[in-house]
Amino acid sequence: MNLCVIPARGGSKRIPKKNIKEFCGKPLIAYSIEAAKKSGLFDKVVVSTDDEEIAKVAEKYGAEILYRPKELADDYTGSGEVFKHAINELKKNNGYKFACMIYPTAPFLQVNYLKEGYEKLKNSDACASFSVTSFEYPIQRAFKIVNGRCEMFDKSNFHKRSQDLEVAYHDAGQFYWKKIGCRSDDVFFGKDTIPIVIPRYLVQDIDTIDDFIRAEIMYEYLVKKGYIKGE
């Protein structure tokens, strides 16, 4: 049995009511709920929230609701803690073997990558899998500003060709599969985790109003061109 948890608290500061703000005709969270249900991977799709309005929207799109305690609904609680709480609460009377956290701000999430994450994890000895994408610019050429001047982190990379520098990846912020009961002595971005590589055009942080507008423009363009299917 598989569990899906979508963490969505109500206290968004930079974009008020971000998780249920209308995005290309639907509440933002609806895209994550629909992707989870469309995948056919989950026996239960749950939204963990502290907000009645979010709960009503989530239920409308077919999710069940788990109200989280107040101590997990502040600005400092990480999504990992919320995920852990939901698993512990819901596995008591169920035989869940895998759980997946999907962010409520992932309208570009495609079901095929969600399925890939599950299949690769299920057929391995890894403890987790999650969505990643490559950095647009070689991180080896990164620099910091010290006293108004540039200072490279590693000068030896300055004259190297881009194609000779190793590709680096970062969290794509879409989904996180976990094998319940599997314990790792490494960090999450470590040897016990399988990366599922997502194309950069399907990845967009939505933290500010500028991000939100850019994401809507990208989404509409990708649907128009047939790169993704709009619902």
- Is 138 among the domain residues? no
- Is 152 among the domain residues? no
Give the CATH number for residue 195.
Answer: 3.90.550.10
**Percentage of the chain exceeding pLDDT 70:** 99
| Burial bucket for residue 78 (CB in 10 Å: 0-12, 13-18, 19+) | exposed
- Is 143 among the domain residues? no
- Is 137 among the domain residues? no
- Is 158 among the domain residues? no
Structural domain span for residue 77:
2-129+173-225
- Is 48 among the domain residues? yes
pLDDT tens digits, residue range 85-120?
999 999 776 789 999 999 999 999 999 999 999 999
pLDDT of residue 93: 65
Sequence-separated contacts (24+) of 201-208 with Cβ below 8 Å: 201/227, 202/108, 202/109, 202/110, 202/133, 202/172, 202/228, 203/108, 203/131, 203/133, 203/172, 203/173, 203/174, 204/108, 205/173, 206/15, 206/18, 206/28, 206/105, 207/14, 207/15, 208/14, 208/15
Total domains present in the chain: 1
- Is 31 among the domain residues? yes
- Is 86 among the domain residues? yes
229 has a pLDDT exceeding 90 = no
Mean pLDDT on 42-52: 97
